[in-house]
Structure 1
């Protein structure tokens, strides 16, 4: 491991730990985690799926539009390595997607079309409870080595802690409520991204950056900003104007 990569890994965990300690909400923290995976692992994109109280998977965070679409595709078609990882509760390593087309006949062609050649998935877990899955998408074939596999699981474990901090697996009602809150926050955020993207004629990734910047500058929770935008109590043009003033282009 090079010194630069080791420093990047340390910095990623420090930032995530600081986010946990400061009470950063799960949606924002897990978006950072998805991007951290791309920075410290040899993958092109990452996405996180979270199960609701009924065991149905939902997209919670993604580092790119391609990863977002593939994660949603797995949920909609009930097929794919991240979906299998969640149900089995064990890592899934797919070093060559093209060789596994019979295993996932719908997912593999879609992933190859998106430019991915390999996928690695690790479970989001809290003791024996499986909360979801972290998917890592590569543009070249190959497996993760033991160190990277352990690092991927460690990042997934951080995601699990972020989702259920101050909760215990034994308190199923509190756990279900907490997870449902995270999912609901994501739905509102996606709606707000669409509103801001439309108002500013920008893509949804940039819209998310504008929302997050506005929340930070006004010391607000990201989901509170999103809720206000969707409810029209916070005009989208104010978010756009504030973000531009703070240097988001």
Structure 2
């Protein structure tokens, strides 16, 4: 019996230690900046934003930027007809990535369900891309972080986001019918699977690191994204 109690105690301590170690690693690595660079001198700077609701972060880019072959116009990929409401005056487009089932059934923190969270952590289901049409965010808001990117950094962000969409036979993102939270957002099929290592917020962190923009080394939680200068 004494041996059994010791084994059970060890298992309990191990179960308690895992989330503590995970949180400590997230805090430490989120506070350490990944390699990044300042925008190149003489290049145009493009304002991009991180939007946080306290537990999830979206990356917001201009709806349209540039001229000629280098222009990026998201309306060609994500037309206004994909949104139920009139979004013509919303000049930024925000992207978030995550587990499909958790995303679609957890609109607010109050909707949290442990079974959905466990399934997401185990990577059981496909991913989804959440897209919102928004006005240019207020950089003075505590839930917004403004970042200036040069054109190379901006196009690296665009390329990373595009690779996150699962495309149909027409080469366009595949909308998830009837899944929107409101008239100004939409959901699309996405590539990859959610995991404790690659969370929704870490997807944003990976985008910023791919573009050599300031962000933590690993960002499973919002503070690793929003606390950087």
Q: Same fold (TM over 0.5)?
A: no
TM-score, with structure 2 as normaliser:
0.24
| Structure with greater helix share of residues | 1
TM-score, with structure 1 as normaliser:
0.23
Instruction: Report 1 or 2 for greater relative contact order, CA contacts < 8 Å, sequence distance ≥ 6.
Output: 2
| Structure with greater strand share of residues | 2
